[in-house]
Amino acid sequence: MKRYIFIILLALSFSAKAQPNINHYKYIIVPEKYSFLKQPNQYNLNGVTKALFEGMGFTVYYDNADLPTEIAGDRCKALTADVLEKNSMFVTNLTVVLKDCKGTVVLKSKEGKSREKEYKTSFNLALQDAFSSLNDFRYTAGSTPETSIPAPATTTTAAAPAQEVKTEAVPAPVSQPATTGTKLTEAVLYAQPINNGYQLVDATPKIVMTLLKTSVEDFFIASNGGIAGVVLKKNGSWFFEYYKNNVLVSDKLPIKF
């Protein structure tokens, strides 16, 4: 019996050493063009990728930009992002990966999916779906990023039969249905121009959300400080769309430009 326990502990030890160390990374480099696209930043996917990582607290640069001295002289201080596509006739499938300077994948999202027929919408929704699995991955200045990569379990043994230990089960999160078409706020939000976009303010005035322009008309990268998504116009109305518990949420916004 002791032999089997030793083997299990040894395996867990190797597993712990094999876990990629991503705690010290602050910078992420995003390519200006993904291999499955024909043009740089097509469908604004590269721009959305950059904005979503920035929303997680990282400092992000394009690979064709002038990099700061800290990482220009040592690319191993930064991770490189990539988005991978899996061909499918009716479903867009995208996966986000982060690699270190040796090309080793240190973080990988789930496979984001979308069944929308229009390419621009489908690719962006699939990308947001993929990023939804990275919600626990954050970088805060002065601390280390949290990752959703599970730590190895700890195994303990007892020399003699122990008393029964009662454990309290933690309920699994329940996915909530999408609130498509619901209003995020009843009050009118006023769009004030800023560099590269707008800030939405209420009558207080208080900044409610930031919108960044894209190359697509009536389509913005959006953040309300806690949630990153997109704001787009559909059937004459504006919507803030994002993923929550792997479910697409679409909140109607009364915006006045």
- 185-212: pLDDT as tens digits: 678 898 888 878 888 888 787 888 889 8
On the question of pLDDT at 255 being above 60, the answer is yes
Q: What is the mean pLDDT of residues 112-141?
A: 82
Q: What is the mean pLDDT of residues 94-122?
A: 91
Least confident of 36-50, 99-113, 177-191, 195-209: 177-191
On the question of pLDDT at 32 being above 50, the answer is yes
pLDDT of residue 3: 52
Phi, psi of 145 (to 5 degrees): -65, 145
On the question of pLDDT at 4 being above 60, the answer is no
Q: How far apart are CA 9 and CA 43, in angstroms?
A: 48
pLDDT of residue 164: 42
- Tell me the pLDDT band of 95, cut-offs 50, 70 and 90: very high
Q: Return the SS3 of 71.
A: helix
CATH of domain 27-134: 3.30.160
Q: How far apart are CA 83 and CA 34, in angstroms?
A: 7
> How many Cα atoms occupy the beta-carbon half-sphere of 244 within 13 Å?
14
- Tell me the pLDDT band of 29, cut-offs 50, 70 and 90: very high
Q: Return the SS3 of 46.
A: helix
- Angle of the 119-131 helix axis to the 45-55 helix axis, nearest 10: 30
pLDDT of residue 196: 80
Provide the mean pLDDT of the chain: 75
pLDDT of residue 133: 86
Q: How far apart are CA 106 and CA 99, in angstroms?
A: 6
The larger pLDDT score, comparing residue 150 to residue 52, is at 52
pLDDT of residue 79: 94
Q: Report the predicted TM-score, pTM, of the whole model to 2 decimal places.
A: 0.56
To the nearest whole percent, how much of the chain has pLDDT over 90?
A: 22
Residue/partner pairs of 41-44 with CB below 8 Å, 24 or more apart: 41/215, 43/119, 43/120, 43/123, 43/124, 43/216, 44/120, 44/124, 44/214, 44/215, 44/216, 44/219, 44/221
- Tell me the pLDDT band of 22, cut-offs 50, 70 and 90: low
Identity at 158, one-letter amino acid code: A
Q: How far apart are CA 39 and CA 42, in angstroms?
A: 5
pLDDT of residue 100: 92
Could you give the residue range(s) of every CATH 3.30.160 domain in the chain? Answer: 27-134
pLDDT digits 0-9 by tens, 218-232: 888 888 767 778 899
pLDDT digits 0-9 by tens, 129-183: 898 888 777 766 555 444 433 333 333 444 444 444 343 333 333 333 344 445 5
On the question of pLDDT at 23 being above 60, the answer is no
pLDDT of residue 227: 79
